[in-house]
Amino acid sequence: MTGFVRYKSYIFHDKDPVIDVLRTAIKDCGMTYVAVSAESGVAAGTLTNWFSGDTKRPQFATVNAVARGIGKEFVLVDSKYVRRTKPRPHLKVVARRA
């Protein structure tokens, strides 16, 4: 299975799906990579590598720092309460409460 990364319940071919989740969250909040970098402490080059470069599996601590920098946080959801037709990751970005 060359080119695949296998999780217990999710297979992806190219990059970890959390990269797409963060790309969408950053786009929705209207911040530039430089602004996200300033808020999160994660280098703008790291963000560029996630979204356009070779990074396929970012570290969770870095992902979480970026999410918190844009006013979001990751929440674990008990899978027995999630209805779905195909496997998905059990992490999602939600707005952080003030």
Q: How many domains does the chain have?
A: 1
Q: How far apart are CA 16 and CA 95, in angstroms?
A: 21
Write out the H or E segment, with its range, that includes residue 91. Answer: strand 91-95
pTM reported for the whole predicted model: 0.70
The tens digit of pLDDT for each residue in 38-94 reads 999 999 999 999 999 999 999 999 999 999 999 998 888 887 776 665 555 556 667
Encoded tokens for 27: 């786009």
CATH code of the domain in which 9 resides: 1.10.260.40
Domain that holds residue 86: 5-95
The 8-class DSSP code of residue 97 comes to: P
DSSP result, 17-77: HHHHHHHHHHHHHT--HHHHHHHH---HHHHHHHHHSS--S--HHHHHHHHHHTTEEEEE-
